[in-house]
Amino acid sequence: MPSTPNQDRDEVLRLLRTVAADRPALFQRADALRRARLGDAVPLRGIVEFSNICANNCLYCGIRAANTRVRRYRLSPDEILAIARRMADWQQMTIVLQSGEAPSADGDRTLGELIRRIKKETPLAVTLSVGNRPRDVYARWRDCGMDRYLLRFETSDARLFAQLHPDGTLVERLDCLRALRALGVQTGSGFMLGVPGETLAVLADNILLCRELDLDMIGIGPFIPHPDTPLAAAPNAYAADPELFFVALATLRLFNSDAHIPATTAFDAVVSGGRDLALQRGANVFMPNSTPGEYRKDYLLYPNKPCVDEDAGQCAQCVVLRLSALGRTVGQGPGHSIKRPAGPRPERWPGVTAVSEDILGFDLFPEVER
């Protein structure tokens, strides 16, 4: 018999409440599932934080517009291309272009042209992570060759979302994800762990929403208070039990068997060797920082970020050593989603069924548009 939503929620909560003595077994289950579904090869996505200019004021984020202590920068398309051209040699077959959310006056056409050039001049898959945009902008980027998009929903609790984000609503965010999916773009989302006000019930719903959205990629990481934000003095909701971050990661894997889940940088900021532990507790992807060294200290979404004193070449070498120390290999292909068929976009992704409208209020997966 298929499980009911309430049974699933109870099961997620039960896993999240796993006591210390039973956590190693939970981690092993998640690791075994990761190995069975995605193997030991770890796809590398080189992240280029190409601009810290942001129009928004998310309460938690170090590069929020109101933080005047940040030195703002933006890499030129030529600078970004120069990095992209080196990435295949570093076995980073995906470039992730991330920035603050600052739509440009030209309707983001410059970014589209950059995508086109990267696709033409390199073998890389291109992922963008630049925030909410109208559907036609996403469509234009897709037509330029964009393969994937990352846009975290941050929290599944609409009220909490509104408190944290003066510039938008959860419904708008989910609408963006719906648009991306309908355009046939591999879609990633995710959430922060332990934002102030989060309860274990919200965390459970975050995990279930990821499954509900049938995401290709899921990025999660602990909330870390940034001193120059309104949440400077607000501790992580699970500060007393940092291992819970990994319990949440393992549970996320058990409920999202086929999603690409990166070992995100924020795990390193709260636990020494956190990204390596994440790779052993459900994560299967690594995102080495490929931002030029000189800009890294200006892209601090949270304090304690690792690799701030390194440059792109150093992280590229370090990751290979880290993976071999864990008995893992570097993924060789583009590392596309294993949930969608390769090649031309089908009329409708197979296996995608109706989404519970009580969570979202709309059908998340209409016909895929060609």
Q: Which stretch binds ligand 5AD (CB under 6 A): 175-183, 216-224, 237-245, 332-340?
A: 216-224
Q: Should residue 65 be labelled a site residue for ligand FES when binding is judged by CB under 6 A?
A: no
Give the one residue of 26, 47, 182, 224 binding ligand 5AD; rule: CB under 6 A.
224
- C-beta nearest to ligand FES: residue: 318
Least distance to ligand FES, CB of residue 42, Å? 12
Q: Pick out residues in 166-195 that bind ligand FES (CB under 6 A).
A: none
Site for ligand 5AD in 192-211 (CB under 6 A): 192
Residue 300 binds which entry of ligand 5AD, ligand FES, none, CB below 5-8 Å type-dependent: none
Does 307 bind ligand FES (CB under 6 A)? Our answer is: yes
Of 267-306, binders to ligand 5AD (CB under 6 A) are 301-302
Smallest gap from residue 320 Cβ to ligand 5AD (A): 25
Q: Does 310 bind ligand FES (CB under 6 A)?
A: yes
- Least distance from ligand 5AD to the Cβ atom of residue 83, Å: 19
The only residue of 315, 323, 355, 364 in contact with ligand FES, by rule CB under 6 A = 315
Q: What is d(CA 46, CA 265) in angstroms, rounded to the nearest whole number? A: 12
Q: How many residues belong to the site for ligand 5AD (CB under 6 A)?
A: 12
Q: What is the C-alpha to C-alpha distance for residues 326 and 263, in angstroms, rounded to an integer?
A: 13
The pair phi, psi for residue 173, each rounded to 5°, is: -65, -45
**CA 256 – CA 218 distance, rounded (Å):** 9
Q: Using CB atoms, what's the residue nearest to ligand 5AD?
A: 302
- Token pair of 169, please? 């609503």
Is residue 266 at the binding interface for ligand 5AD, with CB under 6 A as the rule?
Answer: yes
- Which of the choices ligand 5AD, ligand FES, none does residue 46 contact, using the CB cut-off of 5 to 8 A by kind? none
> Least distance to ligand 5AD from the beta carbon of 5, Å?
25
Give the binding range for ligand 5AD (CB under 6 A) out of 22-30, 101-109, 223-231, 361-369: 223-231
Selected from 61, 95, 128, 319, the binder of ligand 5AD by CB under 6 A is 61
Angle, helix 244-255 to helix 23-38, in steps of 10 degrees? 40
**Residue 192, binding choice from ligand 5AD, ligand FES, none, Cβ under 5 to 8 Å by partner class:** ligand 5AD
Whether 110 and 104 have beta carbons less than 8 Å apart is answered as: yes
- Count of residues engaged in binding ligand FES, rule: CB under 6 A: 8
Q: Report d(CA 142, CA 181) in Å as an integer.
A: 11
Minimal distance, residue 308 CB to ligand FES, in Å: 9
Task: Give contact residues for ligand 5AD (rule: CB under 6 A).
Answer: 60-61, 152, 154, 192, 221, 223-224, 226, 266, 301-302
Task: Give contact residues for ligand FES (rule: CB under 6 A).
Answer: 288-289, 307, 310, 314-315, 318-319
